[in-house]
Amino acid sequence: MQRSGSFILVAQIVVTVLVCAFLFVPAVLSVSAGVTANYFQGVWKSGVTFVWIGEVWRLYADTIFLSLEVALATLVVTLVAGVPAAYVLHRHPGRLTRALEEIITLPLAIPGLAIALALILAYGTYGDFRKSSLFILTGHVLYTMPFMVRSVMAVLAAMDAVTLEEGAASLGASPWQRFRDVVLPNVRPGILAGALMVVTLSIGEFNLTWMLHTPLTKTLPVGLADSYASMRLEIASAYTLFFFVMVIPLLVLMQAAAMFSGAASGSAGSRR
């Protein structure tokens, strides 16, 4: 009995390790290629170098900065517009607000290319707008807004914001005081989760951005595609390294935030 139990355990570990290896090897190869002097000779023969990383910085630093700028701007817009929108949608449930929620969520179901095409058809003729990074920002806001709105709405529903506000109102708090003292502090986990999602999605967004960009407004993923197509494999791989360094901390934070808000909503559940 015990022997077959330990056999199953060993088998589980072996399978898990193999599957992990299958998934990790490409990422490891890609990262190691970025610091290999000559990928075709291999890292052992040609040695480790940071030349390619320097080269990427020289060629593509502006795309990295543009990606960060666009991501932060997207975050600001989704915060300023999305949080109040989620609040209003939650406070006034009805046919109209449900329709609005659907419309906000729609970009998730439509291919990014189609959204980009629609934006180009509608606003492509406004030259200054078309050429600026604001055009990309518009696409990113459309695409990431549902993530902010939905994650804030989920927390509002879990905490029963309407009743909490009525509680504050019964104690004399004005609508603004209620929002500031009760709604905002309790909805923070939702805002945090939404914010991390928005920034991560914006930094990695390719479909939309590839259609919307101009030679002067390239973001990191667009630059990556460009380097894959026209540069040495080592440069493209070093470029990927930059992307990892930017995105992995965000993903880790997102996990932590999800665990935190999971714990918070878990305790909200036990309250009923």
Partner 1 sequence: METTGARVRVEACGKTFPDGTHALEPISFEIARGETVAMLGPSGCGKTTALRIIAGLMGPDAGGSVWFDDEDVTSLPIERRHVGMVFQSYALFPNMTVEGNVAYGLKIRKVPKAERAARVGEVLDMMHIAELADRAIDQLSGGQRQRVALARALAVRPRLLLLDEPLTALDASLRERLRTEIDALLRSLGITAVYVTHDQSEALVLGDRVIVMEKGRIAQIGTARDIYLKPQSRFVAEFIGTMNRIEGSIRTGRFESAVGGLAVERADANSAAAFFRPESVRLERPESAPFRLTVERVHFLGASQRLHLRGADAGRPIIVDTDNRASYAPGALVGIAVAAEDLLFL
What Cα–Cα distance (Å) separates residue 135 from each residue in 50, 189, 211?
A: 35, 30, 11
Q: Which segment (15-23, 30-38, 142-150, 160-168) binds partner 1 by CB under 8 A?
A: 160-168
The number of CA neighbours under 13 Å toward the Cβ of 31 is 10
Binding status of residue 160 toward partner 1 by CB under 8 A: yes
Does position 172 bind partner 1 by CB under 8 A? yes
Of 230 and 267, nearer to partner 1 (C-beta) is 267
Beta carbons of 140 and 197 less than 8 angstroms apart: no
Q: Does 55 bind partner 1 (CB under 8 A)?
A: no
Greatest CA separation for the chain:
75
Closest by CA to 225, choosing from 115, 17, 60, is 60
58 belongs to the binding site for partner 1 (CB under 8 A):
no
Provide the minimum distance between the beta carbon of 271 and partner 1 in the complex, in angstroms, as a whole number: 7
Query: Does residue 153 interact with partner 1 by CB under 8 A?
Result: no
Which residue's CB is nearer to partner 1, number 115 or number 182? 182
The answer to whether 73 contacts partner 1 (rule: CB under 8 A) is no
Q: Does 171 bind partner 1 (CB under 8 A)?
A: yes
For residue 97, what are its two tokens?
């607000």
Q: Is 176 one of the binding residues for partner 1 (CB under 8 A)? A: no
Closer residue to partner 1 in complex, CB, 33/159: 159
Contact 194, 147 (CB under 8 A): yes
Distance (Å, whole) CA 43 – CA 25 = 15
| Matching residue, tokens 């390790």 | 17
Interface residue list for partner 1 (CB under 8 A) = 159-160, 163-164, 166-174, 177, 181-182, 185-186, 264, 267-268, 270-272
